[in-house]
Amino acid sequence: MRTDSTSLVTRLTFVATLGGLLFGYDTAVISGAVSSIDANFIDPLHLSETARGSLSGWTISSALLGCVIGSSLAGWTSNGLGRKGGLLVAAALFLVSAVGSAYPEIGLGPIGGMGPRALTPFILYRILCGVGVGIASMLSPLYIAEIAPSRIRGRLVSFNQLSIVLGMLLVYFVNWAIASQGNETWVRTTGWRLMLLSEAVPALLFLALLLKVPDTPRWFVMKGREERALGVLARLIGETDARTVIGEIRNSLRVSPESRTVSLLAFGSLVIVAGILLSIFQQLVGINAVLYYAPLMFKNLGASTDSALLQTVVVGVANVAFTVVAILTVDRIGRKPLLIAGGLVMGVAMVALGFEFKASAEGLGPLIAAMAYIAGFALSWGPVTWVLLSEMFPNSIKSRAMAIAVAAQWIANLFVSWSFKILIGNSTLNALFNHAFPYWIYGAMSFLAAAFVWRYVPETRRRTLEEIQNLWTRGTARATAAPTQSAADTPT
């Protein structure tokens, strides 16, 4: 048995998961500043209703363009600079963008004195932050997977998803605490800047801690630096086992000529389409419209700024709690049942929330509906989509197929986040439905997502990677029968 240093692995995992925490922090920090950004940069332009909604939506979701760029660069960055080097780049981008988005006038004009002219540099800083998110979203789990002993790898990698939602919850508390320091006028002049600047604190911590950790043994072997790889592995699993693992890594990096020519469609188009649609549906259910605009959602229901941010904190707590539930149940209940159940819960919750808006309801009703929606997403489509994407693609096409699926996810995220502000700000729709329309769309998408999984997505629980590959080869992706216990115990 390999005697790994659990404490060292835990410390390295903690550092890597700060990338996930910053991913979540950045995703949600903008939620507390939406109204202030509109008031300072967009309202003075006196645009038409549609143009205003479009510009506001683009401003808030512009970081997602950076995410697409960052995720596209992550593979090249991790190979050229290393896993650690790529994460250092992400940490630096988080730090620069936190300061720049809080004070976009720096170097261009007086702070607070540029008005709408500060909008362009603000968007550029948000795109820079998105590049950092895109890099970290791929490299944080990759770093953990490459330093973790196999017996605890799955659990440690899953902590990255938990860190993402913890980052969201943390920034909800931060935004609420900052907003409570003054009235709405103060928030619109000063408070929103402090909210965005607050990201510099975890970014600095991430940057400092990264300087003290090694790169992964796999990357060292890739670069022909086997002595460095051996040194890291010896600290992780002991010197005797380290020499064996070095050989395994070296052999795993030998790619046969045949594997270079495997067509992306060698296993049929269904596996590719299923992966892309899983990613797209994860966004079409509207999760980031809720996360980015939660305070605005509650303000549209009549809550004050302070109360809206407090209710957003409650939503964040539900997000964390049910992500833990998913981590504890995904290997017991299975991927497919969780996704179907989550889709149905989200569908009912979004339809109910829409009717709460239609009736101009206030109080517990809308909050309960929002929490039920978050619970449905957090125990299913949030973490389980990533689990499935890491399992469902055959090894020979995994990297290319995942790259396509992840890119589709960020593009869908951008579309949903941008379009939400157009829909929620349309006076004709609001006169008919009182802000309910987009939530009904997300409810319908949730039901469609559940139906899609039921019809086209296979259950991968307790199946070896070879068994999963055979599902697509045989064209039996809808198979739901559980494998035998011996198959379940077969190493993958």
Sign of CA dihedral 267, 269, 270, 276: positive
Enter the DSSP assignment of 480: -
Residue 227 has pLDDT above 50, yes or no: yes
Give the C-alpha separation, 418 to 83, whole Å. Answer: 32
**292 shares a domain with 160:** no
Look at residue 243 and tell me if it is in a domain: no
**409 shares a domain with 329:** yes
**271 shares a domain with 357:** yes
CA angle 395, 401, 404 (to 5 degrees): 160
**268 shares a domain with 155:** no
**64 shares a domain with 159:** yes
Look at residue 249 and tell me if it is in a domain: no
**404 shares a domain with 291:** yes
Of 84, 107, 66, 109, which is closest to residue 16 (Cα–Cα)?
84
Residues 368-423: tens digit of each pLDDT: 888 888 889 988 888 888 777 767 777 566 666 777 787 788 888 878 877 887 77
Assess contact for 480 and 459: CB atoms under 8 A.
yes
Tokens of 470: 């055979």
Over its C-alpha atoms, the chain yields an Rg (Å, rounded) of 23
Residues in the chain: 492
Look at residue 175 and tell me if it is in a domain: yes
Enter the DSSP assignment of 302: T
**432 shares a domain with 319:** yes
Look at residue 158 and tell me if it is in a domain: yes
Look at residue 258 and tell me if it is in a domain: no
Look at residue 250 and tell me if it is in a domain: no
**480 shares a domain with 368:** yes
What is the domain extent for residue 368?
263-492
Look at residue 244 and tell me if it is in a domain: no
pLDDT-derived band at 442 (thresholds 50, 70, 90) equals very high
pTM equals: 0.71
Domain end: 213, 235, 252, which one?
213
Lowest mean pLDDT among 43-47, 70-74, 157-161, 354-358: 157-161
Mean pLDDT of 243-271: 63
Domain end: 213, 229, 247, which one?
213
Look at residue 55 and tell me if it is in a domain: yes
Helices H / strands E in the chain, number of each: 24, 0
Tokens of 358: 């239609």
Lowest mean pLDDT among 119-128, 143-152, 250-259, 401-410: 250-259
**269 shares a domain with 198:** no
Q: What is the structure's pLDDT at 82?
A: 85
Please list, residue by residue across 235-262, b when 16 or more beta carbons sit within 10 angstroms of its beta carbon and e when fewer do: bbbeeebbeebbeebeeeeeeeeeeeee
**270 shares a domain with 198:** no
Residue 330 has pLDDT above 50, yes or no: yes
Mean pLDDT of 289-301: 63
Give the C-alpha separation, 188 to 173, whole Å. Answer: 18
Which one-letter amino acid corresponds to residue 43? Answer: D
Number of domains in the chain: 2
Q: What is the CATH number of the domain that holds 298?
A: 1.20.1250.20
**352 shares a domain with 473:** yes
Domain end: 174, 194, 213, which one?
213
**304 shares a domain with 448:** yes
Assess contact for 219 and 250: CB atoms under 8 A.
no
Identify the top-confidence range among 42-56, 77-91, 144-158. Answer: 77-91
Residue 123 has pLDDT above 50, yes or no: yes
